[in-house]
Amino acid sequence: MTLEELNESCKKCDKCRLRKGATQVVPGAGSEHAEIMFIGEGPGETEDKQGLPFVGAAGRFLNELLKSINLNREDVYIANMVKCRPPGNRDPQEDEIQACKGWLNQQIKVIQPKIFVPLGRFAMYKFLKGTSISKEHGKIYSRSGKVYFVMYHPAVALYNGAMRPILLEDIKKLRLFLDGKLDAQSLNDTVSKIISEKETLKKEQNKNQGNKDSSQFKMTI
Ligand code: URA
């Protein structure tokens, strides 16, 4: 399946309550061959109107962040945890994230990014559980050939100007990493422990299903 076909099916999704309040589904935007995937929370008002992710005020700051390290939107893929706007821009609820996660997982399968940049805690929880964004922002982790670089959500800088330099400083580490000047830490401690538990569970499930690949670790993304 191509990314376009996938996103066309996504646009027809009606799996959760969010679709009713939204103007349209906003699957994502960017290159099908992107090595970096940015993942936000969910569309806001402008995104809901335009059908594109991060095109409002938070998106303008995201563009600035990308530009500050010589990237532009066409170089990366930008997606969201939920593809429909939560009413009044409230946080997405767990059942909505669960209902929507198949779309993001399929986008990941098609695009196969090497680097994931979760923006904000909701996206961070997809990869790193049992930790906090204030602890993890600006850190680069690697695990099983994938890299995870956690950032605060760009919208935080709109409410609190003091966060702007923090995001601008954090994203410089992504540039250093891309230039081979910074190593990613192997995913460890609490985060690793929690993921290992998921790994073990997954392996058990695979074993029970007689899956020959069960010895190979696969992150449950
Ligand atoms: N905030 C998000 O998390 N995603 C968008 O697409 C826009 C704002």
The best mutation among 80, 85, 119, 159 to test binding of ligand 1, ranked by most ligand atoms within 8 Å of the C-beta, falls on 80
Please work out whether the CB of residue 118 comes within 6 Å of at least one atom of ligand 1.
no
Judgement on whether residues 45 and 99 belong to the same structural domain of the protein: yes
Judgement on whether residues 175 and 188 belong to the same structural domain of the protein: no
What pLDDT is stored for residue 217 in this prediction?
28
What pTM did the predictor assign?
0.86
- Determine the Cα angle at 107 with ends 102 and 113, to 5°: 130
What pLDDT is stored for residue 210 in this prediction?
53
Judgement on whether residues 87 and 117 belong to the same structural domain of the protein: yes
Judgement on whether residues 167 and 203 belong to the same structural domain of the protein: no
Flag residues of the chain having pLDDT under 50.
189-190, 192-193, 196, 211-221
Query: Strand, helix or coil at 40?
Result: strand
Judgement on whether residues 14 and 106 belong to the same structural domain of the protein: yes
Tell me the residue range of the domain where 68 lies: 3-182
Judgement on whether residues 133 and 189 belong to the same structural domain of the protein: no
Q: How many angstroms separate the CA atoms of 186 and 55, rounded?
A: 33
Distances (CA, A) of 68 to 65, 73, 165, 177, 184: 5, 12, 12, 14, 21
Residue 134 and residue 121 in contact, taking contact as beta carbons nearer than 8 Å? no
Domains identified in the chain, total number: 2
Judgement on whether residues 41 and 78 belong to the same structural domain of the protein: yes
What pLDDT is stored for residue 186 in this prediction?
82
The DSSP bridge partners found for residue 36 are 115
CATH assignment of the domain containing 15:
3.40.470.10
Query: Strand, helix or coil at 110?
Result: helix
What pLDDT is stored for residue 188 in this prediction?
63
List all residues 6 or more positions away from 46 whose beta carbon is below 8 Å from its beta carbon: 55, 56, 57, 59
Judgement on whether residues 159 and 190 belong to the same structural domain of the protein: no
Other Cβ atoms within 10 Å of 178 Cβ, number = 17
Atom of ligand 1 nearest to the CA of 58: 8
Judgement on whether residues 43 and 92 belong to the same structural domain of the protein: yes
Judgement on whether residues 126 and 164 belong to the same structural domain of the protein: yes
Judgement on whether residues 221 and 172 belong to the same structural domain of the protein: no
Residue nearest to atom 7 of ligand 1 (CA): 54
Please work out whether the CB of residue 54 comes within 6 Å of at least one atom of ligand 1.
yes
Q: How many angstroms separate the CA atoms of 193 and 187, rounded?
A: 9
The DSSP bridge partners found for residue 159 are none
Residue identified by tokens 């909505």 is: 96
Judgement on whether residues 143 and 112 belong to the same structural domain of the protein: yes
The best mutation among 25, 26, 47, 55 to test binding of ligand 1, ranked by most ligand atoms within 8 Å of the C-beta, falls on 47
**How many separate helices (H) and strands (E) can be counted in the chain?**
10, 7
What pLDDT is stored for residue 129 in this prediction?
85
